A and B are shown apart, each in its own frame.
Chain A
Amino acid sequence: MCHRQTFWILALVAACVSACTTGPDVDGVWHADAPAWQPTQGTNTLLFGATAPKVSLGVELVIGSYGPDIAGLMRFYRSTQFDLALSPLPPHNDCECAFLHQAKVDATGRVTFVLDGCVPGTSQQAQLALRGELDLLTDGRLVGTVTVDDPSQPTLAARSVQLAFVRVATTASSDPAILDCQNPATLADGNTASGL
């Protein structure tokens, strides 16, 4: 009798869960393992030239998922010598943050998106298009590559960088400033935002 009741309760819970769950949960704030964005040659080279000094960047991915659709942004944090060594000009405020476009997540947990904006390593606030492909692993990390996919930049074509994100918050809506790409100074702990 007890087993029977337990079965029905579990069945009810399962039905509710299945009715409310629409796919892999990638909502939240993710931080890439540091160091990243290293200017090394080979497969792990994205933008920096071979002669450039090594720099480490912190990468933050903010995601809101709505079924198969995703909205969000990617924000870059300077850890030490963030691109000051490459450019005499400080990066523009827009350059430390880019919105995700055409972002999707499929049933297997693969997240795809397009970044279209100013990203670290590009000098003079140059706009660059990149394509991201990340997979949600069973250990909870979001791991994949971001690849340059911009016909207007043939010298950078197909350069990619591997990123491994760890979720640091399950919701992105607790702090409105996190969603603000234009005014990073409003970040509560904006010590590293924009590198300025």
Chain B
Amino acid sequence: MNAQRWPILLTVLLLLAVPARAQTPGEPNALRSGDVPDSRKATRVLAILPVRSHDVAVTDLFSPDAPRQSDWAPAIEAQLAALLRAAPSVRTLSPDQVRQALAQDPTLQPLQQLAQQRYREGLEQYLNLSTDAATQTLQGAVEMGRGGFQDVIDAKPLADAQVMLGVCLLDRGEPAKAHIAFRDAFAAQPQRRFRSNFYAPAVNVELAKAFVDWRETSDLTRPYGDHRRMHALAERLGADGLVYATVRMTPEGPEVWLAIFDARRRVVDSELRVPMRESAPKVDAFLSRWLACLPVAESEPDPTTIRRDNGLRLDMSGGYALYLKQPTRQNFHSVGFSIGVAHEFRNGIEWFGRANMYTSLSDPYRDVLHAFNSVRVIGGLGFTYRFGPVRLYARPGLDAHFLGDFVATTDPNCKFFGTDHPLCDKTSIADLQQRLLFGLNLAVGASVHIGRNFFVQMQGSSSVYFLPFGGTEKLNYPTGGDVGLGYAF
């Protein structure tokens, strides 16, 4: 090969090698573009509701002392809690924690207490043969009990009220409504059983009918009511989702119905129906699949992090200023740069300091005899408001402005021949050399974080000078803007 072609070949090989290196598979579990680091993933709160166990046979409905088939609920609840606790970015509320949270909710406690009180009043009214009044009172008790989520905390008081309501309705000759009340009682407390001689035979017949009806037709994936009620429950618990299960007996053995309610979307997100004997691996796989398919949510910025971002802020900006009051006939412009520092010592309040150095440019009529430099120092307290990466601020402060070699005149002879020339009209000269002006400054601006701790800052400001007295009438009201880059420590 021709030796002169070696550099070309080497270049081509290098160009090919660079993409090849870039396409090399990275390390396992390495973050890729678009991935959310674990530290930024939002934690989802999942509440496990008490598992409903339909383990009462029809034949045992009036045999409270008959041995129960089995109580599967604790096993299912423990399994769900163990699986969800092991999942990343998930915080689990166990059924006991759910009960405790609802029982201690100060807004629910009055409802729960009132439901109990109404139940007792309704019972007394029924015993005093005031069936109509008892019906109304018990209906109130049921409504308040459901509003207070008594069926989640402890279902018995609510089921008691519903049974008594059904009894009252039967006495009033309203069997259809009584049937619904009995059904609701079983829905609230599926394991409820009765002594055969406690209620009248007619009531027992209706109870049996309602039990069979409920067993055959109830929606096992919604044991706690409709979506609206589930959403309200999730909001009470501060949960992103509700996990609940129902176990019921079938000819093939116990069967688990598992459902997950998505509180944000207000739908049952996923359902599983699996024989109890296979529940361990299948529930595990079901939950893993569901968690894996959840969209990753990024956590809101930690307030403590925000506080740290709003620590010391340093910026350097290019600036422009214009004096709204000036001795020249046309505007003259000043450009320069500034250095600013600010520190937010409380949320929304900061102190700040800023130094500006300006050089004036010639005005169109060259009334300013020569370019002059000036230095401004501004300091004060600012007020901030932040949303997302944008931080707005308003900064009122004190302004000290040291004018450099500022001499202006409108007489062309002074400009052309010099201020000492006999033709120069001395009265036309505005000589502010070495003058120091004091006043107030107001700046409003915004900084936008562009990555890590860097931010772009833009601000507009204006000053009014009032000191020295009588010395600010020729040059005043500097107004301008700054654009720059800053860093938040």
Chain A residues with CB under 8 Å of chain B are: 19-22, 64-72, 99, 103, 172, 179
Contact = CB atoms under 8 A, between A and B. Distances in A.
A72 B330 contact: no
B364 A71 contact: no
Nearest to B364: A22
B413 interface: yes
A65 B416 CA distance: 8
A64 B365 contact: no
Contacts of A20: 364
Contacts of A99: 413, 423
Given A22-B365, A69-B365, 12 more contacts: A22-B330, A22-B364, A65-B412, A66-B415, A67-B329, A67-B366, A69-B410, A70-B412, A71-B413, A71-B415, A71-B416, A179-B417
Contact of B365 (A67, A72, A179): A67
A71 B417 contact: yes
Interface string B305-343: 000000000000000000000000110000000000000
Contacts of A22: 330, 364-365
Contacts, number: 39
A72 B416 contact: yes
B367 interface: yes
A179 B329 contact: no
Interface in B335-362: none
A18 to B, nearest CB: 11
7 contacts: A20-B364, A22-B365, A64-B415, A67-B364, A71-B416, A103-B412, A179-B417
Contacts of B415: 64, 66, 71
Nearest to B410: A69
Contact of B412 (A21, A64, A172): A64
Nearest to B365: A67
Give the 10 A-B residue pairs with the shortest CB-CB distance, closest first.
A67-B365, A71-B416, A64-B416, A71-B412, A69-B412, A22-B364, A71-B413, A66-B412, A66-B366, A66-B365
A20 B366 CA distance: 11
B420 to A, nearest CB: 12
B366 to A, nearest CB: 5
**B interface SS class:** loop
A72 B410 CA distance: 15
A173 B271 CA distance: 93
A72 B413 CA distance: 8
Interface string B404-416: 0000001011011
B330 A67 contact: yes
Contacts of A172: 416
Interface string B361-390: 000111100000000000000000000000
Nearest to A63: B416
A64 B418 CA distance: 12
A179 B364 contact: no
A67 B417 CA distance: 16
A71 B417 CA distance: 8
Interface string B216-254: 000000000000000000000000000000000000000
Nearest to B424: A71
Contacts of B330: 22, 67
A68 B367 CA distance: 12
B367 A66 contact: yes
Contacts of A103: 412
Contacts of A179: 416-417
Nearest to A99: B423
A151 to B, nearest CB: 23
Contacts of B423: 71, 99
A139 B256 CA distance: 102
A116 B408 CA distance: 27
In the complex, which of the residues B364, B365, B416, B423 has the most CB atoms of chain A within 10 Å of its own CB atom?
A: B416
B428 to A, nearest CB: 11
A25 to B, nearest CB: 12
B247 to A, nearest CB: 69
Contacts of B413: 71, 99
Contacts of B416: 64, 66, 71-72, 172, 179
A39 to B, nearest CB: 31
A68 B366 CA distance: 11
Contacts of A66: 365-367, 412, 415-416
Contacts of B365: 22, 66-69
Nearest to A69: B412
Contacts of B417: 71, 179
A169 to B, nearest CB: 14
A13 B243 CA distance: 68
Interface string B44-67: 000000000000000000000000
A19 B361 CA distance: 12
B71 to A, nearest CB: 76
A71 B419 CA distance: 13
Nearest to B361: A20
Interface in B408-441: 410, 412-413, 415-417, 423
A69 B413 CA distance: 9
B385 to A, nearest CB: 35
A172 B418 CA distance: 13
A65 B415 CA distance: 9
A162 B367 CA distance: 33
